[in-house]
Structure 1
Amino acid sequence: MADQKAPRATSNRSTTPVSDSFKEYISSQWADRPDSEVAPLEQAPFTSVRRAKLSALHAGKRLVLPAGQAKVRSNDTDYPFRAHAAFSHLTGWGADTVPGSVLVLEPAVDGHDATLYFRASAGHDSDEFYANSDIGEFWVGPRPSLAQVGSALGIATRDLADFEDVVATSGPDTLLIRAADPDLTRRVDALVGEAPALEVVDTVADRAAGLEILTRDVSELRLVKDAYEIAEMRAAVAATKRGFDDVIDDFPEIVAHTRGERLVEGTFNRRARADGNTVGYDTIAASGDHACILHWTRNDGVVAPGDLILIDAGIELESLYTADITRTLPVSGTFSDVQRLVYEAVLEAADAAFAIVKPGIRFREVHATAMAVIAEKTAEWGFLPVSAAESIEPDKQYHRRYMVHGTSHHLGLDVHDCAAARRDLYIDGTVEEGMVFTIEPGLYFQPDDLTVPEAFRGIGVRIEDDILVTADGAENLSIGIPRTAADVEAWISGAAG
């Protein structure tokens, strides 16, 4: 492998030795590092099946699925690397993916041949080893060998340098996950000469929506989870429950701190790093009025007795599968009468939505069922200018003032999984066994909302669970995390006791 200097090394602070004597010395007297055998990972047979399904959709096309590159956070500091979901889904390579890796499916007589290109371990005779702060072993640790990764994942492997031959021969029959690696996309576009050749779509509607066929297809491939994925989802939920338990245990310290929301975030994130890879998304720790801000992630407020705290959090495993769960807790351990009224309305909406889930229904029915309850409750409390029946009409929707978000989204490698799937397979699609999605109704009464009594203002409640569709119904994967008002109060009381 050719020597490579760190592309972001700055000469005004570099102190890396450059003398020939140093190079000779640092390249010598290293013990042999045996290429230890690696057993095939349990996901390998599943990823082979997934690749075969994708292959059947694109006979004769070269399919290029990059893992992506590290993204800059500040100057020469990067965010932690996370591979593109399509790459991980089709390779089985999770949190330890080498940045810049690319999966290529080349057309063959019978389907496609899969090859995984990545930057293999460099020898100590290369100055990359000590001088390249981006990828050098001295800086970021050793990379696995081609043989180790090939054995673990059950895929043929080649050095990333050989991928240049793939790029150089790209043409109209090359389909690329364009968003995964923008620099690679620009290089391929320049060779093809016309980007639309890589954006083949089936219908005028798809073209109008800007959908790319390969991105669409790999997204739709994840709508139904296989046995390995379901097991990972169960494990992610179990880890997330431990994270919520940790937060409950730390309530005294959290309440005592001037930025208790930050402590909630820190406590949960500690569990995520201990039991998984990291959090699946930025933790929402929204206490008091902050619970009415749907994506509150600043988490810099107090957690005051008498308030509710809405915690929306999920742990991502090393496989990159994540949970997504919300619980709303009374900080003092007991709901007030108004808090309980709102909480139980949201719970009723969640339970009603869950009750209809089974194969064969339309996905949009889950949302409609929850919204019917939200409309009934807000009308019953006198908050709507019309009846509940009138409000749910498409041209009315007054009740949506208090819940503007949707009730469900698919879940898996991405917290909002399958996002590029076609509408007629997602929101308008038929629910199938093996799908995993959230049910998360809520009610949010903004602190300055004059349509509701003062006692309701500043109360925000969401209850979110992760749902697995079974052969004849559904399973709430997160049912073990207390969710009824009585169970939540007992949960907090037990920790305090």
Structure 2
Amino acid sequence: MTESQTPTPEEQPLTERGSNRSQRPTSQAFRTFIADGWGSRPDALPERSPAADHAAARRAALGRLFPGERLVVPAGQLVTRNNDNDYRFRPHSAFAHLTGLGTDQEPDAVLVLHPLGEDDGAATSAAGGASPDDTPTHEAVLYFRPRAGRDTEEFYADSRYGELWVGVRPSLEEISALTGLRAEHVDSLADALAKDVGAGQVRVRVVPQADAAVEAQVATLRAQAGLSEGAADSDAALAEALSELRLRKDTYEIGEVRAAVAATAKGFEDIVRSLPRAVDHPRGERVIEGVFGARAREEGNGLGYDTIAAAGNHANTLHWIRNDGAVRAGQLVLVDAGVEVDSLYTADVTRTIPVDGTFTEAQRRVYQAVLDAADASFARAGQPGVKFRDLHAAAMEVLAARLAEWGMLPGTAEESLDPEGQYHRRWMVHGTSHHLGLDVHDCAQARREMYLDADLEPGMIFTIEPGLYFREDDLKVPEELRGIAVRIEDDILVREDGSVENLSAALPRTPDDVEAWMARLRG
């Protein structure tokens, strides 16, 4: 081959070279052959999801906050892990909350709440028998990529969406039956978003950082209509409202969190049984991580977050997810883990357990201090008129007092609890509680007055998770306590009567109960 015949990079763009290895058949004869000879699709549509009615109520509540505006809630796109491999898809939590869809079946889908005119709303209300106060403000439409026909190239050749590659995708009719939503092909989304925007009749808000392509579409529409000013604040207000909508869980959500906690408890039992194997393995923390991960996939969608399996001094790194260390006799192992069920609701539980099944005197002393702090926070949660911030304060009062008793503070517990002191926070730098639900740190975009400064209300689910972390090289810690870390975390529900329930109470918490539990599981 002469120099003039040498292919240049311009002849085949980089974006097209990934298919070079595929040797994909392209003949018309093949396309005709592969499209023929398949059985018929099932006629029966799926049953309506048990989440559908709850999701409809959530959409109605959101719509009332933004009358006359188009609200755009993307599920998100597939994300490349490396080369042509994608991460397992998980939809944006706001999309899951408003559609009731979970697992991984709707990449690129977009939920749009289209504003209804007064006549549209009244007609819809009359047809549904709703009261005037319940007059619909929006029509929700799900724009979705349905399965392609067997006579298309997508069917056999598209490794991201094709049926032979990733399985059978729902049809528009099937997704509509499942969700109760009107479903349209995602190819019609652009026109739907643009309707009446150029005329200045409709304002559009889009959930930020959910789908860059959809955000770009909305940005173009705004620019063309001269509506770009204040767009970021507008979208942030939508994200804020979606987050605050999840502060109080409905009965369906509470049931899903209960299921996630129950599966998580099984995972912790698996961990206890795996400890002998973990001790024998050079990366015993990975054994623990893997055992819990297997339970999460068997019982649910997967992990709600990366498991922390931290033995010995590793547990003093709060977000230790490398999990590559050994697990040795005489150590404590701190496991912070949660199963995410198919609806995408997750548990978030931490237990600190002795590898040998028995606490040493020093370990028990630290453990009891943390348990007392957790119990004090739980007791405070059950009192009337309690604010979310009070949960942390109750736990800190106990920990400061205990650290003062051990001679670790430069003054009294009271001086440490003063905002100008806070010396005890050296050994407990994180917060004691956070909301829990579709995200492990749920409702994170809520306003301070709706979260930290808010009263506890029925339907709220949150964690209580105090800890003490004494690093091996911390010279302010008594020598016998160095290298010990303890965290105890439970998932708490505020009931309708204002009382609180520890959803994860089935997992032992006291030192004696932990030891007895481990002995029973290990035979």
Q: TM-score range, shorter-chain basis?
A: over 0.9
**Number of the residue aligned with 1:3:** none
Q: CA separation in 2, counterparts of 1:197 and 1:390? A: 46
Identity across the alignment (%): 54
Partner of residue 218 from structure 2, selected from 185, 188, 210? 188
Report the count of equivalent residues. 483
Match of 2:170 in 1: 144
- Map of 2:30 onto structure 1: 22
Looking at structure 2, the residues matched to 235 and 66 of structure 1 have their Cα atoms a distance apart, in angstroms, of 27
Secondary structure of 2:449's aligned partner: coil
What's the CA shift for 1:78?
1.1
1:454 alignment counterpart: 479
Q: What is the distance in 2 between the residues matched to 1:296 and 1:29?
A: 53
Structure 2 counterpart of 1:134, from 129, 154, 160: 160
| Structure 1 residue ranges without an equivalent (≥5) | 1-6, 202-210
Aligned pair partner of 1:475 in 501, 505, 508: 501
Q: Scaled by the length of structure 1, what TM-score is found?
A: 0.95
Give the distance between the partners of 2:522 and 2:147, measured in 1 at CA: 51
Report the CA distance shift for 1:152/1:231 in structure 2 as closer, same or farther (over 3 A): same
Specify the alignment match of 2:140 in structure 1: 114
Aligned twin of 1:412: 437
2:396 alignment counterpart? 371
2:232 matches 1:232: no
Whole-Å Cα distance in 1 between the matches of residues 56 and 348 of structure 2? 27
TM-score by length of 2: 0.90
Deviations 1:128-167 (A, max 9, x none): 0111111111111110111111111111111111112124
CA distance in 2, matches of 1:266, 1:186: 39
**Cα offset for 1:195?**
4.5
SS at match of 2:21: coil
Q: What secondary structure does 1:142 align onto?
A: coil
Are residues 1:222 and 2:237 paired? no
User: Which of the two has higher C-alpha Rg?
Assistant: 2
Counterpart selection for 1:314 from 331, 335, 338: 338
- 8 Å CA contact retained: 1:35, 1:148: no
Distance change >3 Å, CA 316–CA 9, structure 1 → 2 = farther
Instruction: Tell me the alpha carbon deviations over residues 264-293 of structure 1, each in whole angstroms, 9 at most, x when there is no partner.
Output: 000000000001010100000000000100
Matching residue of 2:7:
none
Runs of 4+ aligned structure 1 residues displaced above 6 Å come to none
* Partner SS state of residue 199, structure 1: helix
1:424-470 CA-to-partner distances (Å, cap 9, x unmatched) read 10011111011000000000001110101111111110000000012
Out of 227-236 and 249-258, give the one that drifted further: 249-258
Report the alpha carbon displacement of residue 472 of structure 1 after superposing the two structures with TM.
2.8
- More off after superposition, 412-421 vs 451-460: 451-460
Q: Is the 8 A contact 2:18 2:84 kept in 1?
A: no
CA contact (8 A) 2:381 2:500 kept: yes
Offset from partner CA, 1:79-118 (integer Å, 9 cap, x none) = 1100000000000001143100000000113210010110
Alignment correspondent of 2:88: 80
Unaligned runs of 5+ in 2: 1-14, 122-136
1:9 offset after TM fit, Å?
6.4
Task: Note if contact 1:64-1:176 (Cα within 8 Å) is conserved in structure 2.
Answer: yes
- 1:388 paired with 2:418, answer no
Distance 1:369 1:196 in 2: 45
For residues 230 and 166 of structure 2, the distance between their equivalents in structure 1, rounded to whole angstroms, comes to 38
Partner of 2:129: none
Work out whether residues 190 and 217 of structure 2, in 8 Å CA contact, stay in contact via their aligned partners in 1: no
2:232 aligned with 1:199, yes or no? yes
Alpha-carbon shift at residue 24 of structure 1 (Å): 1.6
Counterpart in the other structure of 1:342: 366
Q: Is 1:41 the counterpart of 2:65 in the alignment?
A: no
Aligned counterpart in structure 2 of residue 63 of structure 1, from 71, 81, 90: 71
1:204 paired residue number = none
CA 1:489/1:12 → structure 2, altered by over 3 Å: closer, same or farther? same
Residues 199-230 of structure 1: CA distance to partner in whole angstroms, max 9, x if unpaired?
A: 345xxxxxxxxx81110001000000000000
Does the CA contact (< 8 Å) of 1:35 and 1:145 recur in 2? Answer: no
**Greater mean alpha carbon deviation, residues 8-17 or residues 353-362:** 8-17
Shift of 1:14: 2.4
Q: What is the DSSP-based 3-state SS (H/G/I as helix, E as strand, rest coil) of the residue aligned with 1:369?
A: helix
> Any conservation in 2 of the 1:175–1:199 contact (CA below 8 Å)?
no
Residue type at the aligned position of 2:171: S
Name the SS for the 1:370 alignment partner.
Answer: helix
Amino acid at match of 2:208: R
Counterpart position of 2:5: none
Aligned to 1:357: 381
Do the aligned partners of 1:8 and 1:76 also contact (CA within 8 Å) in 2?
no
Task: Tell me the secondary structure at the aligned position of residue 37 of structure 1.
Answer: coil
Distance 2:500 2:174 in 1: 39
